[in-house]
Structure 1
């Protein structure tokens, strides 16, 4: 079975197809041009598979993408909707923006997880060397000089062992959690589960909610651009939300629109967006530019989520560096204090 394309590859395919359609080139000829790159890659294989399906079976571009196995099910559904409503080009452009944005956010999350994991690994190695090599040397030296290390003056050495050991255990546990999270984040389902768990963590909750809001508005923008009614668009967008509080508000907003309330009023009433952004929808509804406003909001929320992720990453570095400094410093000081006491007694 074909391996699903990475988000940036999906974005590139959709953007190129949108440009080809805009130039009056049909899907079959367009996919032939995309597959004729002369470079073997997953993108080439995907375009070639889509072209062969269209050439042999006909049908729609959405059918060919789904049959190829290279494209996410969500992208195929959106493309099918766009073809049904006559907005294929708009949907392809929206999909290109959506998957480019998702690729950027996912890359930031991986970086935010990878860097602390590496730093924690370094901490673990340093602490392990201190406990296994450095402190035993001090212990043997003190035993030789004073005949034993059980005296009260040498209890500091035991403090060093305790502090270093506890720090090593904590470091190893956190590093293991981060590595497991990094592995799980490689799949879409895994990322969804991670976000659901991270929502309960106070420091991570805000970042998770902003990412969920960005993804929600991206999807809402796509569905509205495909020509789907507002009610159906809201319900479909709510399905991709993993953040519990946001999901309830999104579903309540969809129910309000189904009951006859305008989209902008439902969003404002359910506090789905901050008042400033909700007012933008009201302005868009009055000026007839609702789709453009939703597109702009999706870009703003995506940037906000990226900034929140960067802030979190920037906070992690000094905290971990501080913990490393304290743990190593206390361990070394505890090892040196008995020696200071001995030198003081000699003097």
Structure 2
């Protein structure tokens, strides 16, 4: 909600302004933090656009949430109370338009006597992952908040590294594709028409390959704006369909898992994510069934996500996860993962086994991404070189056969 206020600053000067807060208590906490003595407080009536924007919670980047979690655990281990630790961390974000209200809101709720989990749930500014909230809840009840915060910080840091690695992996191909697109467009728009004029002047018979390139050049020159709109529309429509049509997303994810190398890369990444998250949740005291469900919800591939969600429902009935995964017809995951989980279930060391699996698959994933990056460079160079070479050859063939 947006509030308007009038009050006095630390110098006694009358001031007025507006602040975003989820409650009057949250607003008062912000004003207290700014050393403003309020005189009047009124709810503002925002426009339709602002109403929409105010209802939307922001999502924190993994590295930011990791940093906050780690700092909080350090303060708690130093003997500082939870409330004072949050106040200390909030000082670092006092100029952040979103995080400052978030901290002040959480602090205001905790000043009212609520615990951290409840305060995080009630605040309306930042959208926190469900697994994060559940880990905080269980760890607070079990008196393990400091250690669980460290585990969560490590997990989020690893996810941030992985995300950056994936972005890095896609940056070079995106650059090559963009450059090749403009190079081909330039050749078809400027180079090919000039050479075509020479052929027309000599009234020369042209090979089929040359005619194809010339027609492509004419098409690009005449309809380039339509081509650009078409490409942008296709990309936007594809993203929209994948986000809003689960059945299409499921088929798309199924296809990805069947691709050589790419499928293995996706599976290993998802198994690493599931294992790491569940090792933290189970270690924090979250019941195994609930941990499996929460761990499944963070997965990105809908096929593997559906596999583990389905398995979590059967675990409630008393079946073992390893048995369910082994007999599943949804998707056959790595047998080594199933066997390791079976050992963890038999020895009651599932959390430790899952942590080891997470580290193992994380290392495998990094190695595969490294190989993928190594292969991408020559592959794209070959594609771009082949495409440009095709155009050059198509233009040179008639020149070589030209009779002067």
Is the structural similarity TM-score above 0.5? Answer: yes
More strand by share: 2
The answer to whether the aligner puts 1:296 opposite 2:359 as a matched pair is no
Please give the alpha-carbon distance, in whole angstroms, between the structure 2 residues aligned to 1:268 and 1:164: 55
| Partner of residue 9, structure 2 | none
| Partner of residue 160, structure 1 | 213
Higher relative contact order (CA 8 A, sep 6+): 1
> SS of 2:79's equivalent?
coil
How far apart are residue 311 of structure 1 and its match? 3.4
How far apart are residue 76 of structure 1 and its match? 2.3
Task: Please point out which of 100, 109, 114 is paired with 2:166.
Answer: 109
Q: 1:323 to 1:76 in 2, by over 3 A?
A: same
> What is the aligned-residue RMSD (CA, Å)?
3.9
After TM superposition, the structure 1 stretch with the greater mean CA deviation from structure 2, 266-275 or 320-329, is 266-275
Q: 1:38 to 1:172 in 2, by over 3 A?
A: closer
For normalisation by structure 2, the TM-score amounts to: 0.68
How far apart are residue 123 of structure 1 and its match? 0.9
| Partner of residue 128, structure 2 | 72
For normalisation by structure 1, the TM-score amounts to: 0.78
Task: Please point out which of 329, 337, 341 is paired with 2:401.
Answer: 341
The answer to whether the aligner puts 1:308 opposite 2:368 as a matched pair is yes
Determine if contact 2:341/2:354 at 8 Å carries over to the other structure. yes
How far apart are residue 99 of structure 1 and its match? 1.6
Please give the alpha-carbon distance, in whole angstroms, between the structure 2 residues aligned to 1:19 and 1:167: 60
Any idea what the Cα deviations from partners look like across 1:257-315, whole Å, max 9, x if unmatched?
A: 43435556666666976444444445555666432222222222233333334433443
Please give the alpha-carbon distance, in whole angstroms, between the structure 1 residues aligned to 2:119 and 2:307: 36
| Partner of residue 20, structure 1 | 75
Please give the alpha-carbon distance, in whole angstroms, between the structure 1 residues aligned to 2:230 and 2:147: 44
| Partner of residue 84, structure 2 | 29
After TM superposition, the structure 1 stretch with the greater mean CA deviation from structure 2, 249-258 or 232-241, is 249-258
Determine if contact 2:267/2:333 at 8 Å carries over to the other structure. no
> SS of 1:319's equivalent?
helix
> SS of 1:228's equivalent?
coil
How far apart are residue 137 of structure 1 and its match? 0.8
Q: 1:31 to 1:331 in 2, by over 3 A?
A: same
Any idea what the Cα deviations from partners look like across 1:195-245, whole Å, max 9, x if unmatched?
A: 753442343433332222222223212320220222222233233335354
More helix by share: 1
Please give the alpha-carbon distance, in whole angstroms, between the structure 2 residues aligned to 1:193 and 1:300: 32
Q: 1:138 to 1:264 in 2, by over 3 A?
A: closer
Q: 1:337 to 1:87 in 2, by over 3 A?
A: same
The answer to whether the aligner puts 1:322 opposite 2:382 as a matched pair is yes
How far apart are residue 8 of structure 1 and its match? 0.4
The answer to whether the aligner puts 1:138 opposite 2:195 as a matched pair is yes
Q: 1:91-102 counterparts in 2 under 5 A?
A: 91-102=148-159
> SS of 1:115's equivalent?
helix
Determine if contact 2:272/2:362 at 8 Å carries over to the other structure. yes
Q: 1:155 to 1:267 in 2, by over 3 A?
A: closer
The answer to whether the aligner puts 1:332 opposite 2:389 as a matched pair is no
| Partner of residue 236, structure 1 | 294
Specify every segment of 5 or more residues in structure 2 that has no aligned partner in the other structure, as ranges: 1-53
| Partner of residue 17, structure 2 | none
How far apart are residue 26 of structure 1 and its match? 1.9
| Partner of residue 115, structure 2 | 60
| Partner of residue 282, structure 2 | 224
The answer to whether the aligner puts 1:212 opposite 2:270 as a matched pair is yes
> SS of 2:95's equivalent?
coil
After TM superposition, the structure 1 stretch with the greater mean CA deviation from structure 2, 2-11 or 235-244, is 235-244
Determine if contact 1:230/1:263 at 8 Å carries over to the other structure. no
Please give the alpha-carbon distance, in whole angstroms, between the structure 2 residues aligned to 1:318 and 1:219: 36
| Partner of residue 318, structure 2 | 260
Determine if contact 1:238/1:250 at 8 Å carries over to the other structure. yes
Determine if contact 1:224/1:233 at 8 Å carries over to the other structure. yes
Q: 1:209 to 1:4 in 2, by over 3 A?
A: same
Please give the alpha-carbon distance, in whole angstroms, between the structure 2 residues aligned to 1:152 and 1:16: 75
